Amino acid sequence: MRTIIHLLQKEFIQIFRNRFMLPIIFVMPIVQMVVLVFAATLEMKNIEMIVVDKDLSEVSRRMTAKFGGSPFFNVKSFTFSIEEAEDFLRANEADIVLHIPRGFEKDLMRENQAKVQLLIDAVNATTAGLSNAYASNVLRDFNEQIIIENFGPVSQGMERVNIRYSFWYNPDLNYKIYMLPGILVILVTLIGMMLTALNLVREKELGTAEQINVTPIRKYQFIIGKLLPFWVIALFELSFGLLVGKILFHLPMEGSIALLFLFASLYLLVALSIGLFLSVISNSQIQVMFLMFFFFITFVLMAGIFTPAESMPDWAIRVNTINPLAYFIRVIRMILLKGSGFADISGEFFALGLYATVMMSLATWRYRKAA
């Protein structure tokens, strides 16, 4: 026990003496979290629109004004040429074109129906889908307004149906509340995994690892001395991130914080063991950075931070069972937003327990210590 305490003292002294590590540990995660929560969003605003109004009627002008009054659209320009509007799309100077044909008002008044055309830049399928949904909602509202003006709110003795929506767990549909837990998981993982991997490889390059190897220190003592400091630092980052999320973004905490930290403690054993394993099979910091970049980017993209992981193909869902980020992102959202208890996350908890045992054993076995 005394040996482990001395190793921990040595590791903390090295960490706080390293000017490169301190900003990474205390400054970078907070700055990234604040910036990424605002940047990583699927909400669309200021969609650039070109209006081709060939009707120039009162109704067409009211429709255009309806789009101009929406917080999602910015009516950039008016033109009478559909070809000119398409040039704006090709030049990436517009996102959507609203084409109102001639005779729009006349068809609407005489035949009770009229057509408009939407041309949408669909290079980004997500952006195109959202733009189409927003535009369809504006047109639907405008259509209901025209019907009420012409036929009144009550038609053929039928009362109007009022629909009230109730959204569970995120009633305001605040996308920041959905993104913040996932981004926090990524930052905590990055800090723990990266620092663990770089720390041992750096000692290899400096030669201090060989000096420790010839001492009577045992493998398990060395592994604990390497993992425990960064385990504590990562838990501190999680605490500080939750505090910042509560103060700046009003992050709800419906579930047990103690349960969250229990799961996070187990998860960090997995993340740190992966970092340690990558470091023991690498001989330089550049090599371990490339390895970590490969695994980390793959884990993040398959973790379901932006879209549900269940939407992936069946083969990807099966591969995702070895992705620790997917477990923690799902669980942190369940605990913070839904108030889930241990029974709800027990499957993920025991799966990570097995994962941690395997990775810790693999890293310890792969580490070679001089006799």
Chain-centre distance for alpha carbon 214: 45
Contacts 24+ apart (CB under 8 A), 282-286: 282/197, 282/201, 283/201, 283/204, 284/201, 284/204, 284/205, 285/198, 285/201, 285/202, 285/205
Residue 370, pLDDT above cutoff 70: no
Chain-centre distance for alpha carbon 253: 18
Q: How far apart are CA 145 and CA 250, in angstroms?
A: 37
- The encoded tokens of residue 293 equal 């970049």
Q: How far apart are CA 220 and CA 253, in angstroms?
A: 37
N-term to C-term CA, the chain: 21
Residues across the chain? 371
User: Measuring CA to CA, which residue among 5, 6, 134, 117 is closest to residue 54?
Assistant: 117
Mean pLDDT over residues 126-155, rounded?
Answer: 80
Question: Which tops the pLDDT comparison, 296 or 154?
Answer: 296
- The predicted pLDDT at position 50 comes to 92
Number of CB atoms found within 10 A of residue 212's CB: 15
Tens-digit pLDDT profile for residues 52-100 = 999 888 888 998 999 988 888 888 889 888 989 989 888 888 899 999 9
- The encoded tokens of residue 239 equal 């605490």
Single-letter amino acid code for the residue at 77: S
Number of CB atoms found within 10 A of residue 302's CB: 18
Let me know: does 271 contact 296? Beta carbons within 8 Å: no
- Confidence grade of residue 263 (pLDDT, cut at 50, 70, 90): very high
Q: Where are the alpha helices (DSSP H) in the chain?
A: 2-17, 21-26, 28-39, 58-68, 82-90, 104-111, 125-151, 175-206, 208-213, 219-249, 257-280, 285-302, 314-319, 324-333, 342-366
Q: How far apart are CA 317 and CA 2, in angstroms?
A: 45
Topology of domain 47-151, per CATH?
abc type-2 transporter like fold (3.40.1710)
User: Measuring CA to CA, which residue among 27, 38, 75 is closest to residue 53?
Assistant: 75
Q: Is the dihedral of CA 151, 154, 155, 156 positive or negative?
A: negative
Question: Which tops the pLDDT comparison, 206 or 323?
Answer: 323
Ranges 75-89, 196-210, 237-251: which has the least confidence: 196-210
DSSP letter for each residue of 289-303: HHHHHHHHHHHHHHT
Question: Which tops the pLDDT comparison, 292 or 172?
Answer: 292
Query: What does DSSP assign to residue 321?
Result: G
- The predicted pLDDT at position 41 comes to 67
Q: How far apart are CA 318 and CA 303, in angstroms?
A: 12
Mean pLDDT over residues 252-264, rounded?
Answer: 92
Q: How far apart are CA 275 and CA 282, in angstroms?
A: 11
Tell me which H or E stretch contains 73. strand 73-79
Domain boundaries, the chain: 2-40+175-366, 47-151
- The predicted pLDDT at position 192 comes to 83
- The predicted pLDDT at position 214 comes to 63
Model pTM score: 0.76
Q: Is the dihedral of CA 56, 57, 58, 64 positive or negative?
A: negative
Residue 160, pLDDT above cutoff 60: no
- The predicted pLDDT at position 213 comes to 62
- The encoded tokens of residue 143 equal 């259509």
Residue 212, pLDDT above cutoff 70: no
Residue 349, pLDDT above cutoff 90: yes
Let me know: does 120 contact 47? Beta carbons within 8 Å: no
